[in-house]
């Protein structure tokens, strides 16, 4: 099969190379078609995407994306947001799980944030009222809310999980978040075997820090989902181990949740784990569970041993050495 690979900005090119090497080592039937997108490409060419990128994703329907940079306050809009809205990948799925060998205040974390991906404030409807005032529109629809809530319950059922917690601020935003919560309650009626829970977003942040083991699958509107998924990543050691999937009815775009880290770009010391785990999610969705499990097991062993790990997690290995260590574990387990 063919799939699109978007290396992105900064360290994206280095960690994308890890994916190519692992694909080759496992002899997977994936022919990667590479296209450029992001700040570096926009600076050189004046547009976000290399010509043919959108058409390739339309044709192949599967893509894996490295981190892309977005200017703060000025410049072009996010590549991520643009792709999500263009391909209507309405569900952003971000699982986090504790790994032995990663320093963290917590153990045995196993959480999934499922975030509505196409509307809310990320719709980008904003304008200047005058020189001293700007307004942003928080767009919430019943259709999108029901769709993401149903996806969360279906995900919970499929993965043999137990509880879906709705994250909201309906005590203040009674119409917008109230509509989201109304949709959640309606959808929940179709899943009587799954526990339900509703938590206000600020309290949710505190509860995740105090008692993360009490939670399972979290479903939230776009902005809250973005924030709490990063918080959840912090519970397991940071965004370096935070994979992400953008799922629509027809298209699947997987990506590392972290940024492009321009300060270490080109130094061959970036941790490719988040992109590798995103690739694992992609393989699982493709039905390649055996290959996915081999990669996960190998990654876990390399991190646990701590001999060939990158500097961000206490090692001295290069990106290339870390990737090769994973490949060696995969090959040894054949």
Residue 22, both tokens: 């692992």
Q: Which of 192, 161, 166 is nearest to 179 (CA)?
A: 166
Quick one: 210 and 315 in the same domain? Answer: no
Name the active-site residue from 169, 294, 296, 329. Answer: 169
Last residue of a domain, one of 202, 235, 268: 235
Q: Is residue 191 part of a domain?
A: yes
Name the active-site residue from 202, 214, 250, 267. Answer: 202
Quick one: 226 and 124 in the same domain? Answer: yes
* 41 annotated active-site: no
Q: Is residue 12 part of a domain?
A: yes
Mean pLDDT of 264-284: 97
Q: Is 233 left (phi over 0), alpha (psi -120 to 50) or beta?
A: alpha
pLDDT at position 71 is 59
Q: Is residue 321 part of a domain?
A: yes
Name the active-site residue from 35, 41, 90, 122. Answer: 122
Last residue of a domain, one of 203, 235, 267: 235
- With a pLDDT cut of 90, the percent of the chain lying above it is 86
Mean pLDDT of 167-174: 98
DSSP sequence for 26-89? TT-S-EEEE--BSHHHHHHHSSSB-TTHHHHHHHH-EEEE------SSSSSPPHHHHHHHHHT-
Query: Kind and range of the H or E element at 244?
Result: strand 243-247
Q: Is residue 285 part of a domain?
A: yes
Q: Domain of 131?
A: 105-235
* 226 annotated active-site: yes
Q: Is residue 149 part of a domain?
A: yes
* 169 annotated active-site: yes
Domain count within the chain: 2
Quick one: 189 and 279 in the same domain? Answer: no
For 180-215, how does the pLDDT look when each residue is reduced to its tens digit (9 = 90+)?
Answer: 999 999 999 999 999 999 999 999 999 999 999 999
Q: Is residue 202 part of a domain?
A: yes
For 52-66, how does the pLDDT look when each residue is reduced to its tens digit (9 = 90+)?
Answer: 999 999 999 999 999
pTM: 0.92
Quick one: 180 and 120 in the same domain? Answer: yes
Quick one: 217 and 268 in the same domain? Answer: no
Name the active-site residue from 40, 177, 216, 226. Answer: 226
What's the CA gap between 258 and 274, in Å, rounded? 8
* CATH, residue 217: 3.40.718.10
Quick one: 191 and 294 in the same domain? Answer: no
Last residue of a domain, one of 235, 256, 284: 235
Band (pLDDT 50/70/90 cuts) for residue 77 is: low
């Amino acid at each position: 099969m063919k799939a699109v690979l978007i290396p992105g900005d900064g360290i994206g090119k280095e960690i994308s190379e890890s994916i190519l090497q692992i694909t080759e080592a496992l002899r997977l039937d994936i022919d990667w078609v590479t296209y450029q997108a992001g700040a570096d490409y926009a600076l050189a060419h004046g547009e976000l995407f290399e010509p043919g990128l959108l058409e390739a994703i339309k044709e192949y329907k599967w893509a894996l994306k490295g981190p892309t940079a977005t200017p703060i306050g000025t410049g072009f809009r996010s590549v991520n947001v643009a792709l999500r809205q263009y391909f209507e990948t309405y569900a952003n799925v971000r699982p986090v799980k504790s790994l032995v060998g990663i320093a963290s205040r917590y153990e045995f974390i196993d959480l999934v944030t499922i975030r509505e991906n196409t509307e809310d404030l990320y719709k980008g409807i904003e304008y200047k009222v005058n020189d001293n005032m700007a307004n942003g529109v928080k767009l919430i629809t019943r259709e999108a809310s029901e769709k993401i809530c149903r996806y969360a319950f279906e995900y919970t059922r499929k993965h043999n999980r137990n509880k879906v917690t709705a994250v909201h601020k309906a005590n203040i935003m009674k119409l917008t978040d109230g509509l989201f919560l109304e949709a959640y309650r309606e959808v929940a009626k179709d899943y009587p075997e799954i526990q339900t829970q509703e938590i206000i977003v600020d309290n949710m942040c505190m509860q995740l820090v105090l008692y993360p083991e009490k939670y399972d699958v979290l479903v939230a509107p776009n902005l809250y989902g973005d924030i709490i998924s990063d918080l959840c990543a912090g519970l397991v050691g940071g965004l370096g181990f935070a994979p992400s999937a953008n799922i629509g009815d027809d298209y699947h775009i997987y990506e590392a949740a972290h940024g492009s880290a321009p300060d270490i770009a080109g130094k061959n010391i970036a941790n490719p784990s988040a992109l590798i785990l995103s690739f694992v999610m992609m393989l699982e969705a493709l039905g390649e569970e055996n290959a996915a499990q081999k990669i996960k097991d190998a990654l876990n062993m390399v991190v646990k041993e701590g001999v060939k790990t990158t500097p961000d997690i206490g090692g001295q290995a290069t990106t290339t050495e870390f990737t090769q260590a994973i490949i060696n574990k995969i090959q040894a387990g054949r």
